[in-house]
Amino acid sequence: MRRSVVLRGQAVLATAAVVIAVGVSLPSPQASAAVGSATGYATQNGGTTGGAGGQTVRATTGTAIHAALCGRPSSSTPITIEVTGTINHGNTSKVSGSSCNTAAGVIELKQISNVTIIGVGSGALFDQLGIHIRDSSNIIIQNVTVRNVKKSGSPTSNGGDAIGMESTVRNVWVDHVTLEASGGESEGYDGLFDMKDNTQYVTLSYSILRNSGRGGLVGSSESDRSNGYITYHHNLYENIDSRTPLLRGGIAHIYNNHYVSLRESGINSRAGARAKVENNYFRNSKDVLGTFYTDERGYWQVSGNIFDNVTWSSAGSENYPAGPNPTSTTTVSIPYSYSLDGASCVPEIVRQTVGANTGLKVSNGSCSPQTPGPTTPPPTTPPTTTPPPTTPPPSGGTNLSIGAGSDGSSKASGTSYGNVRDGNLSTYWSPTGSTGTISIKWGSATRVSRVVIREPSGTQGSIGSWQLINNDNGAVLAAGSGAGSITFSATAMSKINFKINSSSGTPRVGEFETYAS
């Protein structure tokens, strides 16, 4: 057995720190960026590059981090913020500016893009202070420790989440971080790594999550199914009660992780979620995979995992463990290339590589001769259940609706405007009657020349006549009947309306896709 690791840019970690005053950020004398390249789902949807190509600054306080964000020409100007020292409530205040939206007592990455935060020097510790990502995209967080963030008691920060993402977040890579608490909810802590309200294309790699009641979630409730495309690889989950992670809807790829001492449950796939779980090592734990605490089932594809001293509960109401002999209940196609370490060497590879201040080492995927190729074929055993369909990949460019906003006329009970831009055909918007309008909107004028309207399975043909309208000026871009692909002259607009003028039965729009070509 070979246990090979690659040392990724130790020179960056050894860079001497430049001490700066509270609220001030200075250019670094030597430009740097995140070390290595994003992996997993963070490579999709245009990729994740953070602040690459922009200015590099140093910060030793939370206020200085905020000042660096606020000092940019725009909220999307690329920037790399090198952090050293301890960031806490005493040195983290709100800073105002046209390119930022910050707050005191939390590292606020709100309504921004193209940012890297990387620990350097002797290390970056966020002590009792969480990192909050909201309405943002293309963010990298690397080589930092976040510990003891509380939602109750004193001091509090970020709702008790070490790192939390919500409300239309896209393309985040969190790598070589250490996230830890000192207890569970009764001690005032919440999740270590949470995603909700339309967060997609995220990778967590080579990180430690430990000593917490909750590892993390994807989706805040059974109805919050707008999240997904999350990769977890080469992480250590240790001394955790549950949620490693909790998945509500969406797709996750979970491979080469080491799970130790999961006390209540582990990977909890529910509410239609689909997880590809391969070549992980589970040790001294209970109910490490299944659907738990709900009767809304999730699905999984399993291969190559090792279950070492794992105990399983009996199946029952709201308790559906995958073991003691886990088998696949779905198949998940992974759109990116990756290399698998053999599960038997995962504990050692993870021990050598994970967490902050460990040299940013990574595996080269050759620790065992059983490593498969870039993609892994589905199991030969057919799935025992079939999950709801997801939207097929579009042809002709990026779906501009992913990451946009949405609204419209009154919606039927149980539906959501956001369901038409979540990439999942099992969720949909429906008007209160037989007619209505659903809209996609952007923060600035966006060039569009094609729309695809998709109806959920089993409801095709219900949409009758329609108009496609430029909301900015009321112009009718196209008109017709039935769902499908709609092309028109390329037009720049901030909002586009799909107006249903007639239908047979109750119309449902599963996806309202928009394309530039």
Q: Write out the catalytic residue numbers.
A: 243
Beta-carbon count within 10 A of 395 CB: 8
How far apart CA 416 and CA 418 sit, in angstroms, is 5
Residues 445-455 as b or e (16 or more Cβ within 10 Å = b): ebebbbbbbbb
Mapped onto helix, strand or coil, the DSSP state of residue 70 is helix
Spell out the residues 6+ positions from residue 475 whose beta carbon is closer than 8 angstroms to its own.
Answer: 469, 491
Q: Is 313 in contact with 288 (CB distance < 8 Å)?
A: no
Using alpha carbons only, how large is the chain's radius of gyration in Å? 23
Distances (CA, A) of 325 to 288, 303, 310, 328: 12, 11, 11, 10
Q: In terms of C-beta density within 10 A (0-12 exposed, 13-18 middle, 19 or more buried), how is residue 39 classed?
A: buried
Q: How many residues does the chain have?
A: 517
Instruction: Identify whether the C-beta of residue 351 lies closer than 8 Å to the C-beta of residue 359.
Output: no
Q: Show the tokens assigned to 220.
A: 């805040």
* Residue owning tokens 């006549």: 465
In angstroms, what CA-CA distances link 141 with 241, 245, 363? Answer: 25, 19, 19
Both tokens of 106, joined, read 């939390």
Rounded CA-CA distance 372/159 in Å is 41
Inter-residue contact 228 to 423 (CB < 8 Å): yes
The DSSP call for residue 186 is: G
- What is the C-alpha to C-alpha distance for residues 285 and 302, in angstroms, rounded to an integer? 18
Q: Which two tokens stand for residue 83?
A: 């952090």
**Three-class SS state of 91:** helix
CA distance 353 to 7: 9
Which residue type is seen at 95? V
Q: Quick one: which of 21, 151, 168, 170 has its CA closest to 93?
A: 21
Contact 451, 515 (CB under 8 A): yes
DSSP codes, 434-488 = S-EEEEEEEEEEEEEEEEEEEPPTT-TT-B-EEEEEETTT--EEEEEESSEEEEE
- Nearest-angstrom CA–CA distance, 42 and 217: 17
CA within 13 Å, CB half, 131: 25
